[in-house]
Structure 1
Amino acid sequence: MEIKKTATAGTLESSDIQIIIDKGSDGIKIQLDSDVKKEFGEQIESVIRQTLVANHIDQANVKAVDKGALDCVIKARTLAAVNRALDIADKPSWEVL
């Protein structure tokens, strides 16, 4: 699926993550800003990438600002941003959940 517009989900509050998704042209690129990047950066990026792939997104630029979010929060924020970027927020793909 192709991203139609830039979209964001999440906040910069503690235990949350802000995800910004934009059109990409060279695969999935993830820019992660996190205080725990050294310890959990690979896991955070993996959850984001897996969520994008499950939603058939193969071209995207993602900026993630993590404030200590758990995997379930990362997945939920990524999914919300994807649905907004695909302009299907009112009719999500329930089968990928």
Structure 2
Amino acid sequence: MEIVKKAQAGSFESSDVLVLIEPVEKGTGRKIEVDSAVQRQYGDQILTIIQESLDEYEVNDIHLVFNDKGAIDTVIKARLETAIKRASNAQKGTMY
């Protein structure tokens, strides 16, 4: 999926995650910034989930900011999917 605009999903609430995604110049690759309340315990697992979700949707050339407040895996995946679909115009009725 090609990311064509900025989009976000989620919130700063406890047990949630805020995902911000935006396109970057073609050939740049993925720039991923992770800030998590549980980074020490689950940082590697969170990064794996992010990479697998991006791979599943064939998303490249993006800047992704991931601000986690202790979200479980299914919430992380849902927020990533929503942000990706909003940013690729696959989902209508969004904030951006």
Residue 54 in structure 1 maps to residue 29 in structure 2: no
CA distance in 2, matches of 1:44, 1:60: 18
Give percent identity, aligned residues only.
Answer: 40
Q: Which runs of 4+ in 1 moved over 6 A?
A: none
Amino acid at match of 1:37: Q
Whole-angstrom CA distance in 1 between matches of 2:46 and 2:24? 20
Unaligned runs of 5+ in 2: none
AA paired with 1:75?
Answer: K
1:24, distance to aligned residue in structure 2 (A): 2.8
Aligned residues: 90
Give the Å deviation of 1:73: 0.4
**What is the 5 A alignment of 1:10-89?**
10-25=10-25, 26-89=28-91
SS, match of residue 8 in structure 1: strand
DSSP-derived class of the 1:51 partner: helix
Are the equivalent residues in 2 in contact too, given 1:9–1:20 (CA < 8 A)?
Answer: yes
Q: Calculate the TM-score normalised by the size of structure 2.
A: 0.87
1:46 deviates by 1.1
Unaligned runs of 5+ in 1: 91-97
State the Cα distance separating 1:30 from its structure 2 match.
1.1
TM-score (norm 1): 0.86
1:28/1:49 contact within 8 Å kept = no
